[in-house]
Amino acid sequence: MLKKSKQIFFTIMAVLIGGFIAIQFIPYGRNHTNPPVTGEPEWSSPEVRELAERACYDCHSNETIWPWYSHVYPISAMVQHDVEKGREVLNYSEWDNTEREQATTERMIETISKNVMPLPYYLLIHPVAELSEVEQGRLINGLIESIGDDDGSLEAVDIEGDEEEDSGN
């Protein structure tokens, strides 16, 4: 009896492991490329670029960092899809290309302040990309300064906590 359930257990394990290895041969998700960086926004400070790099560049630039798990199916397919989609709507590495459309600063600000961007699942596997509220504010203000908008109607946000850091309570 015990021997039989052991046999069943090992058969199931073998099927699962075999299946996991087999799906690694699915080609979609393996084509991880970083096309050349042709031009970037004129970032208003190195800190702003760092924030964008940390939180946005993996999907919205040609400087994607592809960690080991981005090569393991099915994460590889998810990541590939998001990078392709992300670069399509907004690519900070092709800022010189005036022919192509880019998401507006307004949309960037909206997605950041509503915690839509960076994508929540990505933050789970990549927590360093998560921005604190103060960092979100700094990035938003930096985007306004660096990229701005056509009619100059965007207003900088108040960054709460920025000055309170050493005031105690």
Nearer to ligand HEC, 103 or 134 (CB): 103
Peptide bond preceding 27 in cis form (omega within 30 of 0)? no
Peptide bond preceding 41 in cis form (omega within 30 of 0)? no
At 127, is the secondary structure helix, strand, or coil? helix
Instruction: Figure out which of the listed residues 75, 77, 119, 157 binds ligand HEC, where binding follows CB under 6 A.
Output: 119
Q: How far is the CB of 134 from ligand HEC (least distance, A)?
A: 14
Nearer to ligand HEC, 73 or 82 (CB): 82
Residue 144 within binding range of ligand HEC, rule CB under 6 A? no
DSSP 10-51: HHHHHHHHHHHHHHTT--TT-----PPP-B----SSHHHHHH
Instruction: Figure out which of the listed residues 24, 44, 62, 111 binds ligand HEC, where binding follows CB under 6 A.
Output: 111
Question: What element of type H or E holds 125?
Answer: helix 120-125
Long-range contacts: 97-103, Cβ < 8 Å, 24+?
A: 97/38, 97/39
Q: Is 109 left (phi over 0), alpha (psi -120 to 50) or beta?
A: alpha
Instruction: Figure out which of the listed residues 92, 93, 112, 137 binds ligand HEC, where binding follows CB under 6 A.
Output: 112
Q: How far is the CB of 104 from ligand HEC (least distance, A)?
A: 7
Size of the site for ligand HEC (CB under 6 A): 20
Instruction: Work out the angle between the directed axes of helices 133-146 and 105-113 (0-180°, nearest 10).
Output: 180
Restricting to residues 45-104, name those near ligand HEC by CB under 6 A: 55-56, 58-60, 82, 85-86, 89-90, 103
Instruction: Figure out which of the listed residues 117, 144, 147, 154 binds ligand HEC, where binding follows CB under 6 A.
Output: 117
Nearer to ligand HEC, 73 or 108 (CB): 108
Residues at the contact surface with ligand HEC, assessed by CB under 6 A: 55-56, 58-60, 82, 85-86, 89-90, 103, 107-108, 111-112, 117-119, 122, 129
